Structure 1
Amino acid sequence: MEFLLPLTSLIVLEIILGIDNIIFISILADKLPENQQNKLRYWGIGLAMIMRLALLSLLSWILKLDETLFTIFDTNFSGKSIILIAGGLFLLYKSTKEIYHKSELAEEQPLHTSKKPSFRKLLMEIIILDLVFSIDSIITAVGMVNELWIMYTAVIVTVGIMIFASKPISNFISKHPSFKILALCFLMMIGVSLIAEGFRFEIPKGYIYFSMAFAFFVDVVQIKTVPK
């Protein structure tokens, strides 16, 4: 029974890291017609699982990503650093663009004349972020446990929880526009965190999640207290 503690710890960590993924997928799914939203969510989360399991089978290659490739101004850069910086920039770009569409562009184009994104385009964007989060997740998992089967089990259990939680989270974000903006700001913070980590400047994830949890609490209180 000694495996229970590392397995539970890894599942909890994977769920925390997976929240970013679910929020990103939920926001993109909201752009599609209702009959395609579940399909995009399941495809996105399913591909995340496949990607993580595939990367676990290439564990020796993944570990090499953490080796220094070059140094600039006394800062060491590895394959992981480059991927995190690229993923962080992509997340910042997408979050900023979505916030602009939800605020400024909504006033400029009230009739929503802009072209709707295709299912394939949104799925490709999800795959890009899946890759970034998967590599970060696998390297973190390797630092916690040694048994490969525990990593496989944690990934499968976590993906099952993500699939179960994705629709309620997506529906909640869709029904409350203020929470959608809050979620996008959360993704911007994660993007900054990824870039900082790529430059070897670690921002404790606890600070980010606590600040967002507090902002979420304030938003809930505001909704409950404002007269309808």
Structure 2
Amino acid sequence: MQDIALLLQDPAAWIALVTLIAMEVVLGIDNLVFISILTNKLPESQREKARRIGIGLALVMRLGLLGTVAWIVQLTNPVFTLFGHGFSWKDMILIAGGLFLVWKATKEIHHSVDPEDKDGDFIASSATTTMGAAIGQILLLDLVFSVDSIITAVGMTEHVTIMVIAVIVAVSVMLLAANPLGRFIEKNPTVVMLALGFLLMIGMTLIADGMGFHVPKGYIYAAMAFSALVEGLNMMARRKKRLDRQAAEKHTRH
């Protein structure tokens, strides 16, 4: 408690805390998009429960990882060298996570656009998706993002207490936003395709980072924000056309 009181009196600690919370919330967007698409394949009665359990277990896992910060930092040490680049455990985790995201997003896009799959395999796939499988995939992806964010956080502050507070606040925001985002994505099919595109981009970014080609996160999120803005304008235009058509039909009847 004394350590926390001392941290609260340190302006640098407050700046680090606010910065870490912002970073964790932004990184949480990637997770939420994936969680929403994944849990929407479950029966409606199980979706909210799966989101809460998945995010709750992810919080426990992140807090557990924070207790092994010294070990996680060592994951950046090269294990072997290939094509002139030293690959660390962190690099291999990022590459594996990126490949998983690319595979998952490609599979979901295929199911969405292939009429034959939509009539057959897609329905079967949706029906066989279980809560356990969904939660397992949520935790798998969260592990990848957790390792990356913790290593980044260590470079911003040496206080584990600040990291813990930032993680708890960010995960609380995820819990509040998970259900509204899931319902929004379900009701707007075009948003689903846009979200899958985001997952493909994020997956390729993780692979590039693992290969030693760092892509500034600001560029990624700026592109995502611009795409979301364009889609928002398209949705407004479609809504206006629908309302105009309904008004015209009502006028014709009278």
Structure 1 residue 76 corresponds to structure 2 residue 86 = yes
User: Which has the larger displacement, 113-122 or 69-78?
Assistant: 113-122
Partner of 1:22: 32
Per the TM alignment, residue 107 of structure 1 is displaced from its structure 2 partner at its CA by 4.6
* Deviations 1:175-227 (CA, angstroms, capped at 9, x unpaired): 10100110110011000000000011101111111111111111111111131
TM-score by length of 2: 0.86
Cα distance, 1:109 vs. partner?
3.6
1:39 Cα shift? 0.9
Separation of aligned partners in 1, 2:229 and 2:98: 26
Offset at residue 113 of structure 1 (A): 4.1
Task: Tell me which stretches of 4 or more aligned residues in structure 1 moved more than 2 Å.
Answer: 106-113
Question: What does 1:25-104 correspond to in 2, within 5 Å?
Answer: 25-104=35-114
- What's the counterpart of residue 184 of structure 1? 196
State whether structure 2 residue 224 is matched by structure 1 residue 216.
no
TM-score by length of 1: 0.96
Residue 110 of structure 1, CA deviation:
2.9
Rounded to whole Å, the distance in 2 between the matches of 1:113 and 1:35 is: 17
Partner of 1:110: 119
- Picking from 122, 139, 151, the partner of 2:151 is 139
- Structure 1: segments with no counterpart, 5+ residues: none
Cα RMSD (Å) of the superposition?
1.2
Corresponding residue SS for 2:119: coil
1:160 aligns with 2:175: no
* Structure 2 unaligned residues grouped into runs of 5+: 1-8, 243-254
Give 2:205's aligned residue: 193
- How many correspondences in the alignment? 227
The residue aligned with 2:132 is 120
1:102-152 deviations in whole A, cap 9, x for unaligned? 111x45443654242111111111111011111111111111111110001
**1:168: how far off?**
1.1
CA distance, structure 1, for counterparts of residue 214 and residue 131 of structure 2: 35
Identical amino acids, percent of aligned pairs: 48
- CA–CA separation in structure 2 for the residues paired with 1:103 and 1:4: 48
Larger Rg: 2
Q: Secondary structure at the match of 1:114?
A: helix
Answer yes or no: is 1:203 the counterpart of 2:215: yes
Distance 1:178 1:198 in 2: 31
